[in-house]
Amino acid sequence: MRDRTCRRRDERVVWHERWRSQRIGFHRDAPLPLLTSHWHSLGLPPDSRVCVPLCGKSLDMVWLAEQSHRVLGIELSDLAITQFFDERGLAPRIHTSAAGTHYIAGPWELLAGDAFAVPAALLADCAGVYDRAALIALPASMRATYAATTWSRLPAHCRGLLVTLEYPQHEKAGPPFSVGESEVQARFVGTQWSVALLERRDILAHEPSFQAEGVSALSTAVYRLDRAG
């Protein structure tokens, strides 16, 4: 348990430092195509609340709001959150709770806090969840904890999209880490989630940084996850 706590603390330090130094190559300047292609297949009604763990300042949250959703983002870095609102020209209302610091403006509530420790009560009205960069940002031991905490606290009938990367892990040190279909099934099936692969795309030709590191194959996959009642 002590080793696990130390690893989580080390990962937090690294994450904060990446935001302070603006080493955020994972941030995209447009919504993810897999999101825009597959989100509506979930059939969530307008005004549904959508949880986005480890959200950074992702423009995917802007796109989700444009679909008439309310967004609950969870992020370790206060800097990422303040940049998100600054770039929208918004001055959020701020308050603290046991979960962390809440920044709220328009359709967005972004929580600066630990995604592993977010209480079920805060997630209780989330009809949807979108994970593009959380699971693949974590080493294997922390991925297990993440699935057993954050995802297990989402309410019954919640529906979501999970986006992963697949590549030969020995060819590159994560993050982002390679997470194959067998691991997705192992993490979520049996914890009241059903998993369906929606699409897998070969993206190596579009990722020069992976090519530069000698990665020989790279795909991205998107899954639909449905929580039982």
Annotated binding site for S-adenosyl-L-methionine: 19, 54, 75, 132
Angle, in degrees to the nearest 10, between helices 140-149 and 2-20: 100
Helices (DSSP H) in the chain: which residue ranges? 2-20, 33-38, 60-66, 78-88, 120-123, 140-149, 181-188, 208-212
Q: State how far the Cα of 26 lies from the Cα of 176, in Å rounded to an integer.
A: 9
Q: What is the DSSP string of 112-176?
A: ES-GGG--HHHHTTEEEEEESSSGGGS-HHHHHHHHHHTGGGSPTT-EEEEEEEE--GGGS--SS
Question: Which of 179, 181, 167, 164 has the alpha carbon at shortest distance from 211?
Answer: 167
Residue list for the binding site: 19, 54, 75, 132
Question: Which of 106, 102, 127, 113 has the alpha carbon at shortest distance from 51?
Answer: 127
